[in-house]
Amino acid sequence: MCYTVSAYYTQAESALQNTAISDLFSQGRVSAMRDERPVLGVVTAENAGIEPMLWGLVPAWNKSIDESWRRKMANATVERLNSSPAFKPSFIYRRGAVLVRSFFEWRHEGRTKIPYEIFRSDGKDMLLGAIWADNSGLDLRSFSVVTVPANPTMAFIHNTKQRMPLVLEQGTALQHWLHGSPSQALLQAVPANEGILIGKIDGGHQTRLEFEF
């Protein structure tokens, strides 16, 4: 789930070596499944700004970038953060938050797939909980979006898998996720409260979808 998001970045949000934003980040609608190298902005405990990272976790022990592996690693389920060899080191030492405008999910009604775009109800950008990896051998930083069980709104929309991304509130929740102990971080890894997110049918993408999400 959550393999497609919408993201826009301003120069002020970057503060990265005076490089043009278009050279650093993917803009607009970004899919980990369709885009060859989707790059999004990730807030980390190391960096006061946002840093470009490849979507799809490539752990430090990977010797090459296997695109099928990377796509499988687009998401990290909260239930496996403390047990998966691929997720655990990043969960303990490298947690982050991905800055997006919205994300997309699909409701299934028989053979029909209805795409929804999900926003914050207050109109603010979203911070999605993530884990990231620093692969020095490949000179690459990459991330996975953390997913949790769906709240009622998202269970209605994402009615097959009933999952949703971890949506972090700025303030205590974000600080505990970025800087707290693993046990403190897990306390933040819960579904967003009902009413924080709203979904609308994505009228521009109601044709038959190429990929199963």
Q: What is the pTM of this model?
A: 0.90
CATH number of 4-205: 3.90.1680.10
Report the share of the chain in percent with pLDDT over 70: 88
Average pLDDT over residues 114-133: 96
pLDDT at 35: 87
Which of these, 196, 205, 160, 179, lies nearest to 45 by C-alpha position? 179
Domain ranges of the chain: 4-205
User: From CA 9, how far away is CA 15, in angstroms rounded?
Assistant: 11
Which uninterrupted H or E stretch holds 148? Answer: strand 140-149
Q: Would you say 179 and 44 are in contact if contact means Cβ atoms under 8 Å apart?
A: no
Which of these, 135, 113, 149, 123, lies nearest to 69 by C-alpha position? 135
**Residues 20-73: tens digit of each pLDDT:** 666 788 989 999 988 888 999 999 988 667 899 999 999 999 999 888 888 899
pLDDT at 21: 67
Query: Hey, how many other C-beta atoms are within 10 angstroms of the C-beta on 78?
Result: 20
